[in-house]
Amino acid sequence: MSSLVVDNVTVSRGAGPVIANVSLTVTPGEVTALVGPNGAGKTSLLDGISGVVGVSGGRIVLDGDPIEKLSRVARVKRGLLHIEQGRAVFPSLTVRENLSLTARTGADMDAAIGRFPELEKRINSPAALLSGGEQQMVVLARAFAAKPRFLLIDEMSLGLAPVVFMRLLPYVEELAQSGAGVLLVEQFTHLALGIAREALVVAGGKVGYHGPASALRDDSELLHRAYLGGSAA
């Protein structure tokens, strides 16, 4: 069975480690939530997994092979897709061109657009002219077209109204149901925990909790302690 294993990984920027000794496994078909206060190093961890930055320690194993030394593009070729923070669209490219970057065939493209009726109408307008929610739909449609086996999503809700974000979340679940293993970083903790099976809380560069998401959902005291950086695991 395919798997993405993060084994004791440390990511450093500048003078010191931002996030240290994190281990986790992303399981296909499931959402794993990664939550924690700002500055805890969540983004850095995703960056390390996808190769935006190098990891300074530990291993990242995809289907049994270490990938931490591979280039970003090589990691994508192995089925890893990283959706960055903010709205990772190419503003001057049209919606269609944005999707064409990951769609290998016309059928993939049509299937991806078919999921987002809102985008169909605006298929030829530059992504810059879309609303924030629509831009995030382009990003999700691009992910559908890419058919990744593992998907890293960083703060999809940034700058979106919770109502808009809540409409996008089912798509994330759908991506997982289609077989992708999703690692979801999210500031709206409860929404993220709502669709996740497993969850990690990181604070101050360390893992404060690692276990079932439901436990955090039901026990706000546990979540609180994990956020403050105590080891609640």
Partner 1 sequence: MLQGALAGLAAGGLYAALAVCLTLMSRLVRVVNFSQAATGMFGAFVAVWLVTAAGLPIWLGSVLGILLAGALSAAIGWIAATWLSEASTTARSAMTVGPLLLLISLSFILFGNKPQPFSPILGGPAFEFGGVVVSQVTVVMVLLAVVVAVAVQLILTKTAVGTQLRALSERPTTAELLGIPSKPLSIAVWAATGVISAIAIVIVAPSQSNDATSLAMLIVPASAAALLGGFTRPGLAVVGGLALGVLSGLVAQIEEVALIRNFLPFLFIVVLLLWTQRKEVWDSAR
Partner 2 sequence: MGYVLSISLSGYFVFFAVSAVTAAIALLGLGIVTGSAGMIALCQLTFAAVGAWVVSLLNVMEAPGGFIVWLVAGGIAAGAAGILVGLPALRLRGVNLAVVTLGFAAAADVTLQQIQFPGSKDGIPVERPDAFSDDRQFFFFSVIVLVVCALGVFWLQRSRWGASWKSVAFSERGTAAVGQSVRTAKLTAFAVSAALGGVSGGLLAGQVQLPFPSSFTPIQSLALYVLAVMSGTQLIDMAVFGGIMWVLVPELLKRFGIPQDWGFVIFGALGVQALTSGTNLGEEIRNAWWKRRGRVAPRSGTTAPVEAAPASAGPGARGLDDRGGTHDGGSSPAAAPSPSSPLAAGTAGSGRPAHGLALAVDHLTVQFGALKALDDVNVEVPAGTVMGLIGPNGAGKSTFVDAISGFLPQATGTMSLGGTPLKGLSPTHRARLGLRRTFQQDRVPPSLTVGAYVRFVARRHVSDAELADVLGFFGCPSAGTRLSTADIGTRRLIEVAANVAAKPSVLVLDEPAAGLSHEEHVALGERLRTLPSTYGMSVVLIEHDLDLVRAVCSQLTVLDFGKVLASGPQDEVLANPAVIKAYMGETEML
C-alpha to C-alpha distance for 7 and 207, rounded to whole angstroms: 13
**Measured in whole angstroms, how far is the alpha carbon of residue 85 from the centre of its chain?**
9
Residues near partner 2 (CB under 8 A) are 13-18, 37-39, 86, 128-132, 155, 157-162, 187-191, 203-205, 223-224, 227-230
What does the per-residue mask of binding to partner 1 show for 61-90, with x meaning CB under 8 A? Answer: -----------xx--xx---xx-x---x-x
Minimum CB separation from partner 1 for residue 53, in Å?
10
Q: Total residues contacting partner 1 (rule CB under 8 A)? A: 21
Among positions 125-144, residues that touch partner 1 (CB under 8 A) are 142
Nearest to 81 by CA among 26, 132, 122: 26
Please give the C-alpha separations between residue 213 and each of 32, 50, 200, in angstroms, as whole numbers. Answer: 8, 24, 8
Q: Is 132 exposed, middle or buried (0-12, 13-18, 19+ CB in 10 A)?
A: middle
Nearest to 37 by CA among 233, 231, 232, 227: 227
C-beta of 5 vs 93, nearer to partner 1: 93
Query: Is 139 or 176 the residue whose CB approaches partner 1 more closely?
Result: 139
Residues forming the site for partner 1 (CB under 8 A) = 50, 52, 72-73, 76-77, 81-82, 84, 88, 90-93, 97-98, 100-102, 142, 146
